[in-house]
Amino acid sequence: DYELCEEWEHLYPVPREDLINLHREHLLHLLEMGDMEKALQLLQRIEDPGICLAISEQSLDQHPNLAASHFLADYLTAHFYTSLTTARRNEIQALCVGSKVLLTLPELSRVNYFHLSSRPLLMLEQLLMNMKVDWVAVAVQTLHQLLAGQEIGFTIEDIDNLLSKYAEKALNFPFTLKEKRS
């Protein structure tokens, strides 16, 4: 049906918004099916860069699955980096980094942290609060590799401060020890 609509678009004038909606739904369908190659081909067939940007951004804002979000974030940063505002660029790069951190977690646990994929620092804090120290170690190592030279709204120092804060809390005892007298 999507292909038929695409053929129709070449024969008759279609309003811009309808065109964006059609391609967005087609793109999301392809990404849900896991067909990244056809999704990329669809984006490459769109001649108007403004429409392509709108489709990609709207699709990303629909919060598709992890692989689709990662694909769209990568595509947007690779093809429309200069067209994005600084805030949107940071948001998309944070999502890209967050999805890579999410991929370091055990597969069955990813669903519990997926809602934090666009906020990797908050994801790290949630892992710390849930006492997932082994996962935090892998996540921090991944973040250190990914943050080299990127601006996504937080730095390696912010990660170190967060770790220091929770390390301090772990050593904080709410009571005093009493000495036993013989």
More confidently predicted of 54 and 182: 54
**Segment among 81-85, 113-117, 172-176 with least mean pLDDT:** 172-176
**pLDDT, tens digit (0-9, with 9 covering 90-100), for 38-88:** 999 889 988 889 989 999 999 988 888 888 888 998 899 889 888 888 888
- 67 touches 31 (CB < 8 A): yes
96 contact partners, CB below 8 Å, separation of at least 6: 70, 73, 74, 77
Q: What is the pTM of this model?
A: 0.72
**In the predicted structure, residue 30 carries a pLDDT above the cut 70:** yes
Q: What is the CA radius of gyration of the chain?
A: 22
Quickly state the pLDDT bin for 29 (edges 50, 70, 90): very high
Phi, psi of 180 (to 5 degrees): -90, 130
